[in-house]
Amino acid sequence: MQERNTKQKQVIARLILEAGHPVSVQEILEVGRGHMSRLGIATVYRTIKRLLDAGELQAVVIPGDVVRYEAVMPHHHHFKCSRCDRVYDLDGCVKELKSMVPKGFKVENHELTFYGCCRSCA
Ligand SMILES: [Zn+2]
Ligand SMILES: [Zn+2]
């Protein structure tokens, strides 16, 4: 039992960290069940918590949407496809953003999400 759990957690960890785009718990469960039919949601949550605690995983929060998770990587933004609900990573940041902020204000963080239709859905 213990051993099976450990193996399941390893598979899930790899699945999330190598997905190449942010994944929701539901997606993890669906893809994970393709490998392990008896995979339970509790194991998915436990694995996510462990990876978050270890600093290997970060949450991708899009307002009004489910939380997704991705491997920790440098600052970047996301594109959400409104047809297939998939979230894509975009490289880097918008340089002009800082010029929008009034003089004397110090920006500590910002969130930016693009919405639209992805290439597979177009
Ligand atoms: Zn991302
Ligand atoms: Zn799409």
Please tell me the distance between residue 101's alpha carbon and the centre of ligand 1 in angstroms. 24
Q: Is residue 67 domain-shared with residue 92, that is, in the same domain?
A: no
Please tell me the distance between residue 106's alpha carbon and the centre of ligand 1 in angstroms. 24
Q: Is residue 63 domain-shared with residue 84, that is, in the same domain?
A: no
Is pLDDT of 5 > 80?
Answer: no
pTM above 0.75, yes or no: yes
Residue 121 lies in a domain: no
Ligand nearest to the CA of 76: 1
Mean pLDDT of 88-93: 92
* Domain encompassing residue 35: 2-71
Q: Is residue 41 domain-shared with residue 86, that is, in the same domain?
A: no
Q: Is residue 54 domain-shared with residue 23, that is, in the same domain?
A: yes
Alpha-carbon distance of 89 to 70, in angstroms, equals 10
Residue 9 has a pLDDT of 87
| Residue 108 near residue 119, CB atoms below 8 Å | no
Strands 113-116 and 77-81: parallel
Question: 3-state DSSP call for residue 62?
Answer: coil
Please tell me the distance between residue 2's alpha carbon and the centre of ligand 1 in angstroms. 32
- Helix, strand and coil percent figures for the chain, each rounded to 5: 40, 20, 45
